[in-house]
């Protein structure tokens, strides 16, 4: 067969192309595999979460062996907070703050948030139960749930069970639960705590901070007012209908806002409250568990 120089060059280029494994589709596939491997390596090296729901049982066991012997049970509640704040306010806030506190402590994990709590009578509806979306359970059922959860953690080797209640309506229930557990665990290594600093700082403590900045009590409020709404803006702004609050009328008890005015709420105000809650609660838990 007659071949000139041009034909030989074309043939050699065609043969190299056919012989090479690094064709465009192959290169794309290889790049995808390498990126996936890198991503998986990144995930494998990422710090483990302190949130129990994110861990496997073996990871919990290993965390305990590494010294994480405190379990925090965040307690929220599903209730109305006026037309400007979503119903899951306490649940999201309790989970968020518990995680921050656990990370600061260094020896704690965070249990799933308790979202079903006493919120008043069903028939006839009283308190928050007058507003659609609020969920209530009997005090006895609530306390029994917390006792069982605590006993589960103690059975698995946790030594300190910390209840963080974000809502004022069941604080007495938490004290009853701790008293019951302390009696049952007498002489055993497990202990239960309700650090008073958590709820005190989020309520009266934060209100005092706002007063020092010139805000009045009739603006700060006790439920869904300036303080409550500002905390939520710092924790989960997606749950606050800030624009409608800012441009709407002053709200009152008939709207589910008790004793305050949320219209000047801000994430900056709320962040100061969040920082105080975390810092003071961490100090209280350390004092209760280690004496330092």
Helices marked H in 51-205: 57-65, 89-105, 139-155, 171-184, 196-200
- Give the pLDDT of residue 48: 82
DSSP 244-269: HHHTSPPP-GGGT-EEE-GGG--HHH
Say how many C-beta atoms besides its own lie within 10 A of residue 6's C-beta.
Answer: 8
- Give the pLDDT of residue 160: 97
Q: d(Cα 227, Cα 257) in Å, to the nearest integer?
A: 12
- List the pLDDT tens digit at each of the 292 positions of the chain: 444 444 555 455 455 444 445 556 556 655 555 555 544 544 444 458 999 999 999 999 999 999 999 999 999 999 999 999 999 999 999 999 999 999 999 999 999 999 999 999 999 999 999 999 999 999 999 999 999 999 999 999 999 999 999 999 999 999 999 999 999 999 999 999 999 999 999 999 999 999 999 999 999 999 999 999 999 999 999 999 999 999 999 999 999 999 999 999 999 999 999 999 999 999 999 999 887 6
Q: Which CATH superfamily is domain 52-290 in?
A: Creatininase (3.40.50.10310)
Beta bridge partner(s), residue 163: 73
Contacts of 176 (CB under 8 A, 6+ apart): 143
- Give the pLDDT of residue 40: 55
Q: d(Cα 193, Cα 232) in Å, to the nearest integer?
A: 25
Contacts of 256 (CB under 8 A, 6+ apart): 80, 81, 82, 83, 128, 131, 223, 224
Say how many C-beta atoms besides its own lie within 10 A of residue 244's C-beta.
Answer: 10
Residues 288/201, Cβ–Cβ less than 8 Å: no
Structure tokens given for 63 = 């965390």
Preceding omega of 124 cis (within 30 degrees of 0): yes
Residues in the chain: 292
Q: Are strands 258-260 and 191-193 parallel, antiparallel or unpaired?
A: unpaired
| Closest by Cα among 89, 144, 81 to 113 | 89
SS3 for 24? Answer: helix
Contacts 24+ apart (CB under 8 A), 247-253: 248/84, 251/82, 251/83, 251/84, 251/224
- Give the pLDDT of residue 1: 42
Q: d(Cα 97, Cα 103) in Å, to the nearest integer?
A: 10
Q: Where are the domains of the chain?
A: 52-290
pTM given for the model: 0.84
């Amino acid at each position: 067969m007659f071949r000139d120089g041009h034909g030989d060059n074309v043939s050699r280029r065609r043969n190299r192309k056919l012989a090479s494994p690094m064709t465009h589709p192959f290169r794309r596939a290889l790049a995808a595999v390498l990126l996936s491997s890198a991503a998986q390596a990144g995930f494998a090296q990422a710090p483990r979460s302190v949130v129990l729901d994110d861990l496997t049982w073996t990871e919990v066991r290993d965390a305990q062996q590494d010294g994480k012997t405190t379990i925090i049970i965040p307690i929220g509640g599903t209730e109305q907070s006026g037309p400007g704040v979503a119903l899951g306010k306490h649940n999201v806030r309790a989970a968020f703050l518990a995680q921050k506190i656990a990370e600061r402590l260094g020896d704690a994990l965070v249990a799933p948030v308790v979202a079903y709590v006493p919120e008043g009578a069903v028939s006839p509806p009283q308190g928050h139960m007058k507003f659609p979306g609020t969920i209530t359970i009997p005090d006895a059922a609530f306390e029994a749930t917390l006792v069982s959860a605590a006993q589960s953690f103690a059975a698995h080797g946790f030594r300190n069970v910390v209840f963080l209640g974000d809502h004022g309506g069941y604080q007495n229930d938490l004290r009853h639960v701790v008293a019951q557990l302390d009696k049952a665990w007498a002489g055993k290594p497990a202990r239960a705590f309700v650090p008073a600093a958590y709820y005190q700082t989020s309520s009266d403590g934060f209100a005092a901070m706002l007063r020092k900045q010139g805000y009045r009590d009739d603006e700060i409020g006790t439920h869904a007012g300036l303080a409550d709404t500002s905390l939520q803006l710092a924790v989960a702004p997606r749950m606050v209908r800030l624009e409608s609050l800012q441009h709407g009328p002053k709200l009152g008890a008939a709207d589910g806002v008790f004793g305050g005015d949320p219209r000047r709420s801000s994430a900056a105000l709320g962040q100061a409250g969040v920082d105080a809650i975390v810092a003071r609660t961490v100090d209280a838990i350390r004092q209760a568990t280690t004496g330092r």
